[in-house]
Structure 1
């Protein structure tokens, strides 16, 4: 790793008071961080919000979230990774929302489980989960090469061990022998119906594993429509878990699906079909 780059504006980030990230901002300064005020790099909300979810973040982990944010904001200037670039909003809408997935997982899975993050985009929820639970192993999957270029950069820059990145459609990669029914956990935050997301995630998960979907609070009708799809794909609803996240308007729901039998070989169907014609 190269030497730390110095800049006069670093005086804004050499903060040693409680609630602030201590020390220098890391190499690869982005405009958002260089022009930040002290308030914009406070980590108190992140740490407190994580604690409310039952997660204790160390100072070192909080610093890595700031570095992740810096890289995300810098790359976002040329790659459409997120519409949320404000630090305070990112803490709630990206980081804490991602970390809420921990509520659906056992201590054993949080310690050493292997996950696939389907439609990872800017790395959510996979990278925040890895930053908080270093023993986890994961694969970040996205169909857009520019996004997976960022994901590969983030994995390298943040020195995330046991993490890989794959470019491709879930409908295609789920049929690869090295990806199919391999993972303990599949995550997805994509905006799609539960039935469609189940078809894109369950084929990756081993029998006995789980799928965790981040959804809005009121999804009773959507879950009802997904019953046939879950049964067809070898899954069943374990629970829908309400989650309240500091700084986020409206509650969220974690949809937790258990894999009880192998997914038939024909699923997922060809690219686009799960979303266009969800199983009914």
Structure 2
């Protein structure tokens, strides 16, 4: 079985059925990622199988938390780095409007090139810290789904992600390992930011056998205007009590 077939079959376990065209897009994504990684630090995982499964398949696990993809759904990816999980999700759900938030110039240049090569439409790259962008009225509480992949501890993530999410929308944070204590510590921040913890959804795939899960938070009230605090503060002084 080829590695691209492994990605296809594993994605089917998530309810994601990749077309030949989409698989070709993932192939192109891999080539661009590896080429750019020679001069920009995008990933420590560079082998073909590792990228297909630990980056692309891992990104697609978010689909397990998304019940209905409506046309023109707005999604924000916080601290996207090399475009993960946002671009794999855009490849699968082509109708979504995607905002990729990334503060590092070299990474945003890669993203711009990648989006062009993949011919993706309705994708916006925002080069700024998420804590700053969240106070911009063009983006504050404008998104149906907000995703993030291992960029901070949950108390900080709640403060950074929830301000982007509209009421009735949700935030999906990708995590792995034993996160029980982290979830407990995040409850105050989730409440303060107008959220409600819906579910910790385990990802049971033999291809990703490392205790991965999705933390799903519903947005039920507006986020108070002081939040998020200035860049770095949510990490240094999380709202935990």
**TM-score of the aligned structures, taking structure 1 as reference length:** 0.83
Partner of residue 79 from structure 2, selected from 119, 139, 158: 119
For 1:224, the equivalent position in structure 2 comes to 184
For 2:121, the equivalent position in structure 1 comes to 161
For 1:260, the equivalent position in structure 2 comes to 220
- Indicate the RMSD between aligned Cα atoms, in angstroms: 1.2
Larger Rg: 1
Query: Cα offset for 1:207?
Result: 0.7
Of structures 1 and 2, the one scoring higher in RCO (CA 8 A, sep 6+) is: 2
What is the correspondence of 1:124-139 to structure 2 with a 5 Å cutoff?
124-139=84-99
Distance 1:126 1:271 in 2: 22
For 2:156, the equivalent position in structure 1 comes to 196
- Secondary structure (helix, strand or coil) at the match of 2:39 reads coil
What is the correspondence of 1:35-184 to structure 2 with a 5 Å cutoff?
42-109=3-70, 111-184=71-144
Residues 162 and 139 of structure 1: CA distance in aligned 2, closer, same or farther (over 3 Å): same
For 1:5, the equivalent position in structure 2 comes to none
Runs of 5+ unmatched residues, structure 1:
1-18, 20-38
Query: Cα offset for 1:255?
Result: 0.1
Query: Cα offset for 1:220?
Result: 1.4
- Secondary structure (helix, strand or coil) at the match of 1:262 reads coil
Contact 1:92 1:246 in 2 (8 A): no
Q: After alignment, is 237-246 or 65-74 more displaced?
A: 237-246
Contact 2:79 2:151 in 1 (8 A): no
Query: Cα offset for 1:113?
Result: 1.8
**TM-score of the aligned structures, taking structure 2 as reference length:** 0.96
- Secondary structure (helix, strand or coil) at the match of 1:115 reads strand
Contact 2:141 2:166 in 1 (8 A): yes
For 1:212, the equivalent position in structure 2 comes to 172
Partner of residue 244 from structure 1, selected from 200, 204, 209: 204
Query: Cα offset for 1:190?
Result: 2.5
Partner of residue 276 from structure 1, selected from 232, 236, 241: 236
- Secondary structure (helix, strand or coil) at the match of 1:138 reads strand
Runs of 5+ unmatched residues, structure 2:
none
- After superposition, what is the alpha-carbon deviation per residue over 1:79-127, rounded to whole angstroms, capped at 9, x for unaligned? 0000111110111110011000011112234x54210000000000000
How many residue pairs get aligned? The number is 240
Query: Cα offset for 1:199?
Result: 0.8
Query: Cα offset for 1:246?
Result: 3.9
Distance 1:216 1:232 in 2: 24
